[in-house]
Amino acid sequence: MKISSVYFAVNDKNDFDLESINHNDLELFLHFDYEDDFAYSSSKIKPLNTAYATTCNDKVNVANRVTAITITANNEFNGIAAAESLNIFFKLKQNNDLLDVEHILAYINNDKFDADDSYELVLSEEIEEEVFVEFKISILLEDSQVIERNFLEVLITI
Task: Report domain extents, the chain.
Answer: 2-37+57-157
Q: Taking the CA atoms of 30, 31, 37 and 43 in sequence, report the sign of the dihedral they define.
A: negative
Exposure b/e, 74-88, CB count within 10 A at least 16 = b: eeebbebeeeebbbe
Q: Which long-range contacts (CB under 8 A, 24 or more apart) does 152-155 make?
A: 152/10, 152/18, 153/74, 154/10, 154/18, 154/19, 154/20, 154/21, 155/19, 155/20, 155/21, 155/130, 155/131
Q: How far is CA 30 from CA 53, 74, 78, 118, 137, in A?
A: 36, 19, 22, 6, 9
For 124-143, the pLDDT digits (tens) are 999 999 999 999 999 999 99
Q: Is 143 helix (H, G, I), strand (E, B) or coil?
A: coil
Residues 135, 28 contacting (CB under 8 angstroms): yes
Residue 54 vs residue 94, higher pLDDT: 94
Q: How far is CA 140 from CA 3, 11, 67, 111, 147, in A?
A: 11, 23, 6, 18, 7
Give residue 115's pLDDT. Answer: 63
For 98-125, the pLDDT digits (tens) are 999 999 998 888 766 666 678 999 999 9
Q: Report the CATH fold assignment for 2-37+57-157.
A: Immunoglobulin-like (2.60.40)
Average pLDDT for 45-49: 48
Alpha-carbon distance of 107 to 31, in angstroms, equals 12
